Structure 1
């Protein structure tokens, strides 16, 4: 009985460790996205940026010139301080 418990416990431990392995892959660092050169498709990978906001970002940069800081994104309709705060570490200029 004791042997069965140890074997079962060991198997569960191995399964748990193997199950957690992909979590390390998810935590990999991702290159920041350049707001001034990114396509609409790439911009939609940012949290809180869907197709319409991505299009608005591109339209704004074509009309008003490049963004120089994350705060400049607030000039795009629908992007406020909260969205900017979530994006700051994921974008570059």
Structure 2
């Protein structure tokens, strides 16, 4: 009999906790939509200088920024943002971190 009381008490506590957790979650402010927070201005790979690339892009330091400019000077303008992968030291992870910040127009 005592086991039934303990089990009922435990069930009641767990049920009350789950209802309280749901109530707390429903009162939290809604998460902001990521799409609404798009980057206001994009960096044009075909016109930006090394200082701008370094300042505006994530994971791009002075050496990589200069490598982007050198690649552009040697090979001509970028036709797409994906061509950034041709620059030595720029990998898929760096490109994805910066894709929303980049343009070639």
Structure-2 change in CA distance of 1:84 and 1:28 (3 Å): closer
User: Out of 73, 76, 81, which is 2:87 matched to?
Assistant: 76
* SS of structure 1 residue aligned to 2:65: helix
Q: Indicate the residue corresponding to 1:30 in structure 2.
A: 40
* SS of structure 2 residue aligned to 1:86: helix
Q: Indicate the residue corresponding to 2:6 in structure 1.
A: none
TM-score by length of 1: 0.67
Structure 2 residue ranges without an equivalent (≥5): 1-36
Q: Indicate the residue corresponding to 2:32 in structure 1.
A: none
Q: In the TM superposition, what are the counterparts of 1:38-77 in structure 2 within 5 Å?
A: 38-45=48-55, 46-77=57-88
1:30 deviation in Å? 2.8
Aligned residues: 67
Stretches (4+) displaced over 4 A: none
Work out which of the two has the higher radius of gyration on C-alpha atoms and give 1 or 2. Answer: 2
